[in-house]
Structure 1
Amino acid sequence: MPQENLTPLLLASSSMPQSTAAASYGATDDHDASTPKNAHDGGLQRGLSSRQVSMIAIAGTIGTGLFLGTGKSLAQGGPASMLICYAIVGFIVYITLLLLGEMSTQYPVAASFNAFTSRFVSPSYSFALAYNYWLNDAISLASDLTAAQLVLQFWTPLHTWIISLVFWVFLVGVNSIHVRSYGELEYWLSLLKVATIIVFIILGILVNVGVNKEHRYIGGHYFREAPFVGGFGGFANVFVTASFAYGGTESLAITAGETRNPTRNIPRVVRFVFWRIMIFYILSILLIGLNVPHDYPDLSNRSTTTSPFTIVFKEAGSTVAASFMNTVILTSVLSAGNHALFAGTRVLYGLSVASPRQAPTIFSKTTSRGVPIPALLATSSISLLCFGSSFIGSGQLWGWLQNLVGVSNQIAWLSIGLASYRFRQAWIRQGRSLEDLKFHTSWTRIWGPPFVIVSVTGLILVQGWSSIFPHFSATDFISYYIEIPLMVLMFIVWAYIVRPLTRGNTQQQTGLQWVFDLVDTRTVDLETDVYEDNEADKADDTQNQQTWWRRLFFWIA
C-alpha cells in the first residue's frame, strides 16, 4: 500500500520480521525468568504468560469503577437506572471486544486498536485517538490515586494524600523492572479481587434475606421505593460512570505485542469478558441495588465517596469484615493504577517509534529488559493531579476525572467499531472470506460494527444531559465533552499541518478521501504483521493441554 497509509503506531517489537520476532520472545514457561535473546535490540518483549493474560482478562480492569463508581451511580440514578445502564454498556463492551479480538488475533501488535484505526481508517484520526487514549490512561492513574484517598477515609480523614504518594512510588517501581513484573502483580491482585467478589455475592444474598444488623428481610424494597432517581438526567449520568467502570477492557489488546502465543491467548481473553460482565458486574450491581439505599449517608458527595461493597459488609454486622473489604478495595485501586500505567506507557512508546514519528524520540528508549522508562515517567507524572484533591475535595475531583476517563473509553470503543467496519470491508473487497480469519464471531458479521458505532455515539451525546438541563453547569459540561474538541484539534494538527510536511508532493488522495485522510480499503495491506505460530507457541499449547488444572481453568472460564 502507499507509504502514507502505513500503520504509524506499529511498535518496533511488532514490526520485526517474523523470524526475528519469533526468536526473541523467550520461553513459554510461566516461571521462566530468562532474558529474551534479543533484549539488546531494545523494544518490547513478549513476557506475559497465558496464566497472567488469562487472569488479567478476568479481573485486571475491575477496580475503582466497580468498587467506588457504583456508589456514585446509585446516588445519582437509583438502583434500576444503575442496573439497566450497566447492562447496556456491558453488552456494548462485549461486542466491541469481539471485534477487537478479531483484529488483534490476526495482527497481534502493541497499541493495537490505535494501530488498526491508522491502518484501516485514517492515520490522522489514529494520531488524535492515540493521544486521547494516552491521556485517558494517565488520567486513569490520577483517578485511581485519588480514589485511594477516598478509600482511606473509611479509617481516617487525616493526611490521606500519603497513600497516593506511596502507591505512585510503588507502581512506578514495579513497572520499571520488567513486563513480567507487571503481569505477576496483576495476576495476584486480580486473583484476590475474584475471590472477594465471589464472597461479596454470597454475603450480599445473605444480607438481603435477613442476615444483617437489623435481622430484617430486605428483598426488593429499595427497587420499589426509588427505582429511578434524578429523572432522565440521573439515568443518563450513569452511562458515563458505567463506561468508567468497564474502561480498560479494550486495553487488554494493547498487551497483544507482549503476549505469548497470541493466536490462542487473545481469543481466550475475549471469551472471558462475557462471563466477567455477567458475574462480576451485573450480579454485583444487582445486589448493591437490593441492599444499599440511594440516599445512604456519604455514599457520594463533594468530599467523600463510600464503596457500596464496604456498606454491604458493614450491614452484615461486622466492622472487621467491612475493614477487610475496604482493604481489598484499596488493593483493587492499586491494580487499576498498575493497569493504567502499563497501558499508557505502551501507547506513548508506540507514538515515539511510529513512522513518521509522532512523539519525541526519547520516549522510544527502553532498558535491556524492554521497559520504556521515559514513557513510563511521562505517563506517571500526570498523576500528580491527585494532589489537587486537598483543595477541591477528593470526591469532587474524582467525579470529574471519572467523567473524563469514561468519555475517553467511549471514544476508544467507537474507534474500534470504525476500524472493524473498515477492516471487514477491506477483507471482503480484496476477495477474502471472513471465515478465513484466525478468530471470527460469525453472529456479529452483519450488525456488529454498525451497532457499536451507533450505540456508542448515542452514549457520548446523551450522557451529559444533566450538565445542560435543568441548569447549565460549565465544569460538568467540560468534563463530559472536552475530549471531543481535543480530538478534533489533534486531527487537524496532523491532517493539515504535519501530514503535508511528511508526504511532500506525493499526494494521491482526492476529495473527501483527502479531507479525512481515509485509507483506501481496496489496496490496504492485509499481509503485514500477520502472526505465524512458532515452536514456542506450539510448546505452550502442549503444556496447557498436559496440565489438568489449566484445562479445567480454561474450561470453566
Structure 2
Amino acid sequence: MSSPESDESTPLLRSDMSSPALVSQPDASPAVFSLPVPPADLKYGALHRALSTRQVQMIAIAGTIGTGLFLGTGRSLAQGGPASMLICYSIVGFVVYVTLLLLGEMATQYPVAGSFNAYATRFFSPSYGFALSWNYWFNDAVSLASDLTAAQLVLDYWNVSHPWIISLVLWVFLVGVNSIHVRAYGEIEYWLASLKIATIVVFVFIGILVNVGVNREHRYIGGENWRIAGAPFVGGFGGFAHVFVTASFAYGGTESLGITAGETRNPTKNMPKVVKAVFWRILLFYILTVLLIGLNVPYTYPNLSNKTTATSPFTIVFAAVGSNVAGSFMNAVILTSVVSAGNHALFAGTRVLYGLACASQAPEFLMRTTPAGVPLFALFGTASISALCFGSSFIGNGQLWSWLQNLVGVSNQIAWLSIGLASWRFRKAWRRQGRSLSEMKFHSKWTWGWGPPFVIITVIALILIQGWDSLFPVFSPVDFVSYYIELPVMLVMYIAWAATHGRDEKTQPTALPLPSSELSAGKKGVLSRWLDTVDTDTVDLRKDEYEELSTDLEEDLEREEHLKGRVRWAWKLYYLIA
C-alpha cells in the first residue's frame, strides 16, 4: 500500500473542479457557466492536493496564533484593560467558532480553490463575491506587510539598528519558500506552529508561577493589576469597543483554513476533523493566555503600545521570572511566530488571487502555475504589497502597525460576515431543492437554525461599534479611515461589477438547466434582479461535490490498520495531537 504522504502529483484543476474524479456529474448544458479548462500543455498548470491532516491543522493554528496574540494583546491591554480584553476575546472567539462550523459545512461539501470567497460568489452574489475576494486578497497582502512591520517591533527589544533590513531578508525568505511547493510551505508551518504551541504551554505554567510569587520581587500578584487606578476597564466604552478590532486581528486567519481545502488530501474526512479540533485548541490558548496576561502585566507598563514601539506581554512575563535570557528567548520565539504568520498570509493571499483569476475576475496570467503547482505570478503580486512595511521608517513602527492592524481586523470581520451570508443562502438552497441533511458530508446540527443569522448580526454590530474611539471624545480622521475605509471600497466594487457584469450569464454561478429563459427570469425575486443575488431554487448544488479518490481510501485504510495494531494507543495519541 502506498503511503498518502508520497502522493504529491494528484492535481487539482482550478475551482471548476473539472476533473472527472472530482465531480459528481458533468455540466448539463453548454449554456451553463463553466470556468475554462487548463490547456493541454499545462501552461496554466494545476494546484496539487499535497497537504496532510497534520499540516492543515497546524496551518490553521499557525495562521491564527501570531502577531495578534504575541503583540496585539499588549495593545488590547493598554487601550481596554484586562477585563475588556478577556470579555472581547471570549465574545469574538465564540463568534469565530460558529463561523468556522458554517465554513466547514461548505468546505467539506465543495473543497474548491478560493474557499469562502468562492462560496459567497456561488451562493450569495457574484458581484459581492468579486468585491469580497479582492478585499480578502488585500487583507492577506496587508497582513504580510503587518507581520514584516511587527518583526521590526520585535527586534527593537535588542536595539537592532536598521531593522528594515531584517524585514527585507524575511521577505526574500518567505517568497522563496512559497515558490518551491505547497508541501514546503506546509512543512515549515507545521514545525513553526509546533514551536508556538510549545511556547504557549510553557507560558501558561510560567504565568501561573509568576502570579503566585515566583518573580523578581518574590511577591504574590493575584488580581492586583485588575484593581489599579483605571482598571479593569480602561477608556470606558470606547476602550472596550476598541479591543474588538484587535481581537478580530488576533483571531483572523482561522477562516483561511477553508482556502487549504483546495490542496488538502481526502478533504471529506480531513476538513471536519480540522474544523472540530483546531478551534477548541485555539480558544483554549487564547482565553488562558489573555487571562494570565491581564493578571501579570499592568496596563500602565511602559512601552506596552505606542507610536514607535510595542513590547510583547509574553516577553514581559518571561522576563519577570528573573532572567534576561528567558526574555530574549521568548522574544526570539515571537520573531519565529511573525515569520510563520507572514508565511501563512502570503500563501493565503496567493491562493485567493489565483482563485480570482480562475473566476475571470483577475487577469488570466495569474492562473499560470509551475510544474510543482505554485501560482508564481499570483505569489509575486501578493508579495509586492508588503512594500508598505518599509514606510515604517517615516511614521514609526508602532503607528504603522496599529493602522495595518485595524485594516486587517476589519477585513477579517468582513470575511466572517461573508461566510454567514454564504451559509445562509447555501442552507436555504439545500432546503428549497429538497435535499436531505443526510446527504451532507458534514453539518453542524446545533447551529442549523440560528447559526448564519447570529454570525451576520453579531459581526455587523462589531464592525459598527469598534470605531467608537475614533469618533469620541475627539474625532481622529486617520483612525476612522483605518476602521471603515474598506466598507465604501467594497460597495464601489460591488456596484461596478454588478453594473458591468450583473446581467451577463457567462459570469453567473453554475445553475440547473431550466425549460426556458423566461421561466428562469420569472423565478427570480426582487433581490435576484436588482442586487445580483443568486437564485436558491436554481443554483446547482451538485457541481464540485467531492468524490473520494483511491489515495483517500488508502489513507483511511492505513489509519484503521494503525488503530488496530499493538501500539494503537500510541497512534491514538499521535492522531489526537497531530
Aligned to 1:240: 245
Deviation at 1:172, TM superposition (A): 0.1
Asked if the contact 1:81/1:228 (under 8 Å) is kept, the reply is: yes
Cα distance in 2 for partners of 1:455, 1:554 equals 35
Describe how 1:4-83 pairs up with structure 2 within 5 A.
12-21=13-22, 42-83=45-86
Aligned to 1:434: 437
Deviation at 1:550, TM superposition (A): 4.3
- CA distances 1:386-423 after superposition (whole Å, capped 9, x unpaired): 00000000000000000000000000000000111111
Moved more, 329-338 or 532-541: 532-541
**Paired residue secondary structure (1:512):** helix
Asked if the contact 1:236/1:463 (under 8 Å) is kept, the reply is: yes
Q: Does residue 421 of the first structure (1) align with residue 424 of the second (2)?
A: yes
Alignment match of 1:522 (pick from 532, 537, 552): 537
Q: Does residue 533 of the first structure (1) align with residue 548 of the second (2)?
A: yes
Asked if the contact 2:22/2:548 (under 8 Å) is kept, the reply is: no
Aligned to 1:513: 528
Deviation at 1:17, TM superposition (A): 3.6
Cα distance in 1 for partners of 2:499, 2:529 equals 10
Asked if the contact 1:14/1:21 (under 8 Å) is kept, the reply is: no
Deviation at 1:556, TM superposition (A): 5.4
- CA distances 1:261-300 after superposition (whole Å, capped 9, x unpaired): 1011111111123322332111000000000000101000
The 1:544–1:349 alpha-carbon spacing in structure 2 relative to 1, beyond 3 Å, is same
Alignment match of 2:374 (pick from 347, 371, 374): 371
The 1:378–1:420 alpha-carbon spacing in structure 2 relative to 1, beyond 3 Å, is same
TM-score w.r.t. structure 1 length? 0.92
Deviation at 1:40, TM superposition (A): 7.4
Cα distance in 2 for partners of 1:540, 1:486 equals 45
Moved more, 128-137 or 224-233: 224-233
Deviation at 1:435, TM superposition (A): 3.5
Deviation at 1:497, TM superposition (A): 2.0
- CA distances 1:193-245 after superposition (whole Å, capped 9, x unpaired): 01000000010000000000000000011122210000100000000000000
Deviation at 1:512, TM superposition (A): 3.0
**Partner amino acid, structure 2, of 1:131:** W
Deviation at 1:552, TM superposition (A): 1.6
**Partner amino acid, structure 2, of 1:260:** R
The 1:456–1:325 alpha-carbon spacing in structure 2 relative to 1, beyond 3 Å, is same
Asked if the contact 1:39/1:370 (under 8 Å) is kept, the reply is: no
Describe how 1:34-183 pairs up with structure 2 within 5 A.
42-183=45-186
Aligned to 1:205: 208
**Partner amino acid, structure 2, of 1:376:** L
Q: Does residue 257 of the first structure (1) align with residue 262 of the second (2)?
A: yes
Describe how 1:308-347 pairs up with structure 2 within 5 A.
308-347=313-352
Moved more, 380-389 or 37-46: 37-46
**Paired residue secondary structure (2:210):** helix
The 1:296–1:255 alpha-carbon spacing in structure 2 relative to 1, beyond 3 Å, is same
- CA distances 1:330-361 after superposition (whole Å, capped 9, x unpaired): 0000000000000000011111121xx11111
Cα distance in 2 for partners of 1:58, 1:396 equals 27
Identity of paired residues, percent? 68
Aligned residues: 531
Deviation at 1:544, TM superposition (A): 2.7
The 1:21–1:103 alpha-carbon spacing in structure 2 relative to 1, beyond 3 Å, is closer
Deviation at 1:43, TM superposition (A): 1.7
**Paired residue secondary structure (2:469):** helix
The 1:503–1:187 alpha-carbon spacing in structure 2 relative to 1, beyond 3 Å, is closer
Question: For structure 2, which runs of at least 5 residues remain unmatched after alignment?
Answer: 1-11, 24-39, 509-516, 563-567
**Partner amino acid, structure 1, of 2:92:** V
- CA distances 1:291-319 after superposition (whole Å, capped 9, x unpaired): 00001010000000000000000111111
- CA distances 1:429-455 after superposition (whole Å, capped 9, x unpaired): 111222431111111111111100000
The 1:472–1:310 alpha-carbon spacing in structure 2 relative to 1, beyond 3 Å, is same
Q: Does residue 387 of the first structure (1) align with residue 402 of the second (2)?
A: no
Asked if the contact 1:304/1:394 (under 8 Å) is kept, the reply is: yes
Aligned to 1:398: 401
Cα distance in 1 for partners of 2:352, 2:66 equals 21
Deviation at 1:500, TM superposition (A): 4.5
TM-score w.r.t. structure 2 length? 0.89
Aligned to 2:572: 551
Moved more, 209-218 or 222-231: 222-231
**Paired residue secondary structure (2:48):** coil
Asked if the contact 1:68/1:307 (under 8 Å) is kept, the reply is: yes
- CA distances 1:151-187 after superposition (whole Å, capped 9, x unpaired): 0000014111111101100000000000001101100
Cα distance in 2 for partners of 1:484, 1:278 equals 28
Deviation at 1:502, TM superposition (A): 6.6
Aligned to 1:467: 470
Aligned to 1:273: 278
Cα distance in 2 for partners of 1:510, 1:21 equals 33
Deviation at 1:501, TM superposition (A): 5.9
Asked if the contact 1:39/1:369 (under 8 Å) is kept, the reply is: no
Aligned to 1:451: 454
Asked if the contact 1:94/1:273 (under 8 Å) is kept, the reply is: no
Asked if the contact 2:199/2:333 (under 8 Å) is kept, the reply is: yes
The 1:446–1:307 alpha-carbon spacing in structure 2 relative to 1, beyond 3 Å, is same
Asked if the contact 1:57/1:272 (under 8 Å) is kept, the reply is: no
Cα distance in 2 for partners of 1:550, 1:233 equals 50
**Partner amino acid, structure 1, of 2:276:** R
- CA distances 1:511-532 after superposition (whole Å, capped 9, x unpaired): 3322210111011101001111
The 1:39–1:308 alpha-carbon spacing in structure 2 relative to 1, beyond 3 Å, is farther
Asked if the contact 2:77/2:294 (under 8 Å) is kept, the reply is: yes
**Paired residue secondary structure (2:47):** coil
Cα distance in 2 for partners of 1:405, 1:550 equals 39
The 1:540–1:39 alpha-carbon spacing in structure 2 relative to 1, beyond 3 Å, is farther
**Paired residue secondary structure (2:258):** helix
Cα distance in 2 for partners of 1:273, 1:405 equals 22
**Paired residue secondary structure (2:113):** coil
Alignment match of 2:309 (pick from 286, 304, 308): 304
Aligned to 2:33: none
The 1:16–1:423 alpha-carbon spacing in structure 2 relative to 1, beyond 3 Å, is closer
Deviation at 1:493, TM superposition (A): 1.1
The 1:503–1:263 alpha-carbon spacing in structure 2 relative to 1, beyond 3 Å, is closer
**Paired residue secondary structure (2:218):** coil
**Partner amino acid, structure 2, of 1:555:** L
Cα distance in 2 for partners of 1:358, 1:446 equals 33
Question: For structure 1, which runs of at least 5 residues remain unmatched after alignment?
Answer: 1-10, 23-36
Moved more, 250-259 or 44-53: 44-53
Q: Does residue 288 of the first structure (1) align with residue 293 of the second (2)?
A: yes
**Paired residue secondary structure (2:311):** coil
**Partner amino acid, structure 2, of 1:104:** A
**Paired residue secondary structure (1:154):** helix
Pairwise CA RMSD of aligned residues?
Answer: 1.9
Aligned to 1:26: none
Cα distance in 1 for partners of 2:58, 2:507 equals 47
**Paired residue secondary structure (1:75):** helix
Aligned to 2:189: 186
Deviation at 1:499, TM superposition (A): 3.3
Deviation at 1:59, TM superposition (A): 3.6
